[in-house]
C-alpha cells in the first residue's frame, strides 16, 4: 500500500513536470512571437532600414587628423565666428542620407563606433528624433519665411532637414569637428547660400571654455567653465559669445530657435536680453531634461514668460504645460510666442 501510493505520487510529480515543461515552451514561444512582432513594427516606423539604405562616400577628413587642422573663421560685426575651412585639408569620412519630406540629403557622420548615439542612429535609420523633426518640419512647411537658429547643431540633423525644406539656417556649435562634418554636408546639399555655420559656445559672459566630450557620444558634449592656461588644451577650447551677438543674422526676420546645449540654456537666455527684444523669435524647441529636477527650470520659465512664450508638449496639438509643475514636463518642450 505504502509502495503503491509512493509510486503514484512519483507519477504525479513526473506528470507535473511535463505540464510545467509544456507551459514553459508555450511561454517562450509567445515571448518570441511578441518580440518578433514588436521588432517588425519598430522597423515599420522607419521605412529606411539599414540594409536598404544607399551609402555615399565623400571626401571629408580622418578624425584622427582633426587636431592638426588649422582653424580659420570669418569675422563678423559681432564676436560670432563664421566657420571656415581650408579645403585641401579634406580627407575621408562617411556620409549617409538623411530623410526629409522633400527627399533625402547627404549628412556626414562620425564613425558610428565613436559616436554611438546620433551618428550611429542616423546611419541606421536616416533620421534622429523623428517626432521632433517632423514637428519642426511641419512648422517650416506652414511658415516658410521663418529662419532657423540651430543652437547646439551637432552634425546638423535639424540644420540639414530645415535647409532641405528651403529654410535659412544659422547653425552654432562648440565642437569644431562636428562643424567640419556639417560644412561638408552643406556643400554636398548645395545649401551654402542658406546655411551659416558658427563656431562658438553661447553663454552670458565672454570667456574661453573647455568642451568635454563623453566617450562615444559627441552629442553629449558640454562646456566646462574653466580657464585653461595649458596650451595643449587648445583643441577643446572655444570662445563664448552671447545671444546678442546673433542679432545681426536675424534682423527683421521671424525665428524658430532650437536649443540643445546640454544645460547651458539658462546662461544663454540670461545673456540674450537685447536679442529677445530685437529679434522676433516665434518658437523655441528646448531640451528640458536637464532642467526638470533643479531650479534652472523655474529660472528659464521666468525669463521666457515675460517675452510672451508659453510652454507646450507638441507644436501641433497645442497642449499647454502646467507652469507650476515643470518637473513633470517631457524631455523636450516647445515654447510658442502668443
Ligand X SMILES: *[C@@H]1O[C@H](CO)[C@@H](O)[C@H](O)[C@H]1NC(C)=O
User: For binding to ligand X (CB under 6 A), which residues are involved?
Assistant: 101-103, 134, 137-138, 141, 165-166, 206-208, 239
Grid coordinates representing 212 are: 568635454
| Closer by beta carbon to ligand X, 172 or else 279 | 172
**By the 8 A CB rule, do 271 and 204 touch?**
yes
| Closer by beta carbon to ligand X, 24 or else 141 | 141
CB of 207 to ligand X, least distance (A): 5
CB of 142 to ligand X, least distance (A): 9
| Closer by beta carbon to ligand X, 46 or else 307 | 46
CB of 134 to ligand X, least distance (A): 4
CB of 295 to ligand X, least distance (A): 28
Other beta carbons within 10 angstroms of residue 11's beta carbon come to 10
Distance CA 143, CA 254 (A): 9
Contacts 24+ apart (CB under 8 A), 74-80: 76/245, 76/248, 77/248, 78/241, 78/244, 78/245, 78/246, 78/247, 78/248, 79/200, 79/206, 79/239, 79/241, 79/245, 80/172, 80/198, 80/200, 80/241, 80/245, 80/246, 80/249
| Closer by beta carbon to ligand X, 112 or else 167 | 167
Q: Which of 118, 305, 104 is nearest to 221 (CA)?
A: 118
Q: Which residues pair with 223 in a beta bridge?
A: 211
What residue number has its CB nearest to ligand X? 166
| Closer by beta carbon to ligand X, 131 or else 212 | 131
Cβ within 8 Å of residue 124, ≥6 positions away: 49, 50
**Alpha helices in the chain, H assignment, sequence order:** 2-45, 118-125, 130-142, 157-164, 176-188, 265-270, 273-278, 296-304
CB of 312 to ligand X, least distance (A): 17
CB of 29 to ligand X, least distance (A): 34
SS3 at position 204: coil
Distance CA 31, CA 26 (A): 9
CB of 135 to ligand X, least distance (A): 8
| Closer by beta carbon to ligand X, 207 or else 280 | 207
| Closer by beta carbon to ligand X, 71 or else 299 | 71
Hunting for cell 516665434 — which residue is that? 282
Tell me whether strands 332-337 and 280-287 are parallel, antiparallel or unpaired: antiparallel
Distance CA 159, CA 182 (A): 9
Distance of CA 34 to the CA centre of its chain: 31
CB of 21 to ligand X, least distance (A): 45
| Closer by beta carbon to ligand X, 165 or else 182 | 165
**By the 8 A CB rule, do 182 and 155 touch?**
yes
CB of 99 to ligand X, least distance (A): 9
| Closer by beta carbon to ligand X, 45 or else 252 | 45
Amino acid at each position: 500500500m505504502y509502495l503503491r501510493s509512493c509510486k503514484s505520487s512519483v507519477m504525479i510529480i513526473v506528470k507535473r513536470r511535463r505540464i510545467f515543461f509544456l507551459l514553459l515552451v508555450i511561454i517562450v514561444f509567445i515571448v518570441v512571437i511578441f518580440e518578433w512582432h514588436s521588432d517588425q513594427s519598430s522597423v515599420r516606423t522607419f521605412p529606411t532600414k539599414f540594409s536598404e539604405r544607399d551609402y555615399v562616400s565623400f571626401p571629408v577628413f580622418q578624425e584622427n587628423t582633426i587636431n592638426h587642422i588649422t582653424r580659420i573663421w570669418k569675422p563678423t560685426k559681432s564676436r560670432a565666428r563664421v566657420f571656415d575651412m581650408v579645403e585641401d585639408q579634406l580627407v575621408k569620412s562617411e556620409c549617409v542620407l538623411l530623410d526629409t519630406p522633400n527627399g533625402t540629403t547627404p549628412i556626414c557622420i562620425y564613425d558610428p563606433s565613436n559616436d554611438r548615439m546620433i551618428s550611429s542612429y542616423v546611419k541606421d535609420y536616416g533620421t534622429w528624433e523623428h517626432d521632433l523633426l517632423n514637428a519642426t518640419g511641419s512648422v517650416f512647411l506652414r511658415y516658410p519665411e521663418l529662419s532657423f537658429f540651430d543652437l547646439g547643431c551637432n552634425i546638423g540633423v535639424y540644420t540639414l532637414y530645415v535647409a532641405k525644406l528651403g529654410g535659412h539656417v544659422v547653425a552654432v556649435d562648440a565642437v569644431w569637428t562636428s562643424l567640419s562634418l556639417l560644412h561638408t554636408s552643406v556643400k554636398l546639399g548645395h545649401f551654402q547660400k542658406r546655411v551659416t555655420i558658427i563656431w562658438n559656445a553661447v553663454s552670458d559672459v565672454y570667456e574661453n571654455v573647455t568642451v568635454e566630450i563623453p566617450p562615444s557620444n559627441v552629442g553629449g558634449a558640454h562646456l566646462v567653465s574653466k580657464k585653461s592656461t595649458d596650451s595643449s588644451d587648445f583643441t577643446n577650447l572655444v570662445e563664448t559669445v552671447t545671444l546678442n551677438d546673433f542679432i545681426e543674422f536675424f534682423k527683421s526676420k521671424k525665428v524658430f530657435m532650437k536649443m540643445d546645449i546640454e544645460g547651458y540654456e539658462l546662461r544663454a537666455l540670461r545673456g540674450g536680453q537685447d536679442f529677445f527684444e530685437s529679434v522676433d523669435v516665434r518658437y523655441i524647441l528646448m531640451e528640458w531634461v536637464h532642467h526638470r529636477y533643479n531650479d534652472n527650470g523655474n529660472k528659464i520659465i521666468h525669463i521666457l514668460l515675460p517675452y510672451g512664450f508659453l510652454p507646450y508638449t507638441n507644436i501641433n496639438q497645442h497642449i499647454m504645460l502646467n507652469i507650476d509643475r515643470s518637473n513633470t514636463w517631457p524631455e523636450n518642450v516647445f515654447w510658442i510666442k502668443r
